[in-house]
Amino acid sequence: MNLYTMVLDFHGGTYITQFDAATAVDAVTAWCNELQEEQLLGEVSSDIAEGIMIDAVENRLVEVEGLHNVWCAATTAGGPLALLNVIETHASAS
């Protein structure tokens, strides 16, 4: 399992969370499921989750040019642009 940090920029806010997952797409799937279940962004949560899933899974995550282990997905399904950055994160050994 890898640790992935998810950074969502949406409607003037930045939302950050982390998931353990086998792949970046699995992390996005877990994030989308939590977003829908918890309605973390209010009534647009389901639209954003569905839009991100389409972009990340059907269209594939886009590698961020010049960076390693960083991808992005985006949607305008909830109105304004929702940009999700996915970063494979290495936890420090304690």
Cβ neighbours of 6 (radius 10 Å): 23
Rounded to 5 degrees, φ, ψ at 19 are -140, 145
pTM for this model (two decimals): 0.91
pLDDT (tens digit, 9 = 90+) per residue, 19-64? 999 999 999 999 999 999 999 899 999 999 999 999 998 899 999 9
Residue 22 is predicted with a pLDDT of 96
Question: pLDDT-based confidence at 90, cuts 50/70/90?
Answer: confident
92 pLDDT more than 80: no
